[in-house]
Amino acid sequence: MKVVASSEYIFAVYEGAIRYIVCLERKTCSCGRFQHDEILCAHAMTVSKKKNIKDVHLYCSDYYKLDALTNTYAVTIEPLSHKSDWIAPESIMEEVLLSPRY
Ligand SMILES: [Zn+2]
């Protein structure tokens, strides 16, 4: 991919005939993945390599960082008893859980 700087933070990234606009300051790319996934898309990653950015973690959501993973499991997770011992309302037990459509 070819990278052309428009400013300190805004870049055009050419992938074949398609042009994507990456803004590192707003953490966006016109492909939509950078802002949606909150982690660098291929275009933003190409820009980071072109700019020789060593710490790409600055452009990632905290959800992808070790502290978030550690904090997720910081609380005690109580083991469940056998399913036959569960006390659940009948309305819950009658619900049918279907797999996602997509
Ligand atoms: Zn992108």
Task: Report the number of distinct structural domains present in the chain.
Answer: 1
Q: Is residue 92 part of a domain?
A: no
> Ligand 1 mean position to 30 CA, how many Å?
6
Structure tokens at 67: 């502290």
Q: Is residue 32 part of a domain?
A: yes
At residue 86 the predicted structure's pLDDT band, cuts being 50, 70 and 90, is: confident
Half-sphere exposure of 76 (CA within 13 A, CB side): 3
Residue 67 structural domain: 2-72
> Ligand 1 mean position to 32 CA, how many Å?
6
> Ligand 1 mean position to 62 CA, how many Å?
19
Q: Is residue 26 part of a domain?
A: yes
At residue 37 the predicted structure's pLDDT band, cuts being 50, 70 and 90, is: very high
> Ligand 1 mean position to 27 CA, how many Å?
10
Q: Which residues contact 61 (CB under 8 A, 6 or more apart)?
A: 38, 39
What pTM was computed for the model? 0.70
Residue type, 24: L
How far is residue 69's CA from residue 49's CA, in Å, rounded to a whole number?
A: 27
Q: Is residue 67 part of a domain?
A: yes
